[in-house]
Amino acid sequence: MARHLHLPILEETGYVVLDSYQQPIDPAEWKNLEYVDWKSSGDTRFAPLASAYGQIECNGFWHQDPPKPDKDGIWIDSQTSTAPTLTERVKAVGCNVGRVRIIELQPNSYADALYNSHLDDNNRINPEGEGWVLRMFMQLTHNPDSVMILREDINDPSTETRISLPAGAQLVVDSERMWHSVWHQGDEPRYCLITSVESGPELEKWIWENSPKTRAESAFLDQGSAVAGEVLAQERRAARTAYYGYDPTTVMSEA
């Protein structure tokens, strides 16, 4: 842990919820982007705004030639020109960013979300002494009934926090430590801007400027639904583990 620079504010809970972004953004900025199919948790597509070398692709930076850590992302002109406000919003944070992508997620269930919960691979070949890479989530569509589900331990529901996702919701998550996925309710896809951000003074300053809260109140979920979803998800997770001979979600996801 201590081999990279970590932000103290993330230590306690592994996430921080920030002030909501209040400016309206034209949905054309995310709808008119070029999307690529990319394996992730659930039924998803991604539109990169920045990638390892400026191509429209979503592969991990460490798979590229030459490989690089999830930092120093190259902006993709054909995408950023479609999404200038989103691009400026990320640049305004002022920190080093790696992958910058819009995720499109189709509606799912609580059990689906738990089944898909995973850890990210944010710090592969990130040199010791440099900043720990986190994920910044900026919710685009207004989905107040949808939640990001965070767990310190995927097998312990008592470690769960459900953060509701109205338009503008912003949070930074140590997604290599915290199990995460989104339960999206509704008829339309959910869109969110996800950025790999490097821990350091710039990110820390931006976080402090946005009223950080290290403990969010969990969105309501009735006990019956919680238990039913947990049982179903754990059955499916166990079946997947049996099939592969290991739990693939513990091998950190590239999404």
> Is the Cβ of residue 95 or residue 255 nearer to Fe ion in the bound state?
255
Residue 60: exposure state from Cβ atoms within 10 A (0-12, 13-18, ≥19): buried
CB 69 within 8 A of CB 126: yes
Q: Which of 173, 174, 179 shows the shortest CA–CA distance to 233?
A: 179
Q: Which one, 113 or 203, has the nearer CB to Fe ion?
A: 113
Kindly list the distances between the CA atom of residue 137 and the CA atoms of 192, 195, 199, 238, in Å, as whole numbers in the listed order: 7, 7, 15, 29
CA 33 vs CA 39, 45, 46, 193, 205: distances in Å: 18, 11, 9, 12, 30
In the window 215-234, what residues touch Fe ion (CB under 5 A)?
none
In the complex, minimum distance from the CB of residue 146 to Fe ion, in angstroms, rounded to a whole number = 16
Contact 148, 162 (CB under 8 A): yes
Shortest separation between residue 133's beta carbon and Fe ion, angstroms: 12
**Smallest distance, Å, CB 36 to Fe ion?**
16
Q: Which is nearer to Fe ion, 104 or 120 (CB)?
A: 120
Cα 30 to Cα 240: distance, rounded to the nearest angstrom:
33
User: Phi and psi dihedrals of 188, rounded to 5?
Assistant: -115, 160
Interface with Fe ion: number of residues (CB under 5 A): 1
- Restricting to residues 92-131, which ones interact with Fe ion according to CB under 5 A? 120
| Pairwise CA distance, residues 254 & 175, whole Å | 11
- Closest separation between CB of residue 181 and Fe ion, Å? 7
Q: Which is nearer to Fe ion, 153 or 209 (CB)?
A: 153
**15 or 82: CB nearest Fe ion:** 15
To Fe ion, the closest distance from the beta carbon of 120 in angstroms equals 4
Instruction: Point out the residue whose Cβ comes nearest to Fe ion.
Output: 120
Q: Write out the residues near Fe ion by the rule CB under 5 A.
A: 120
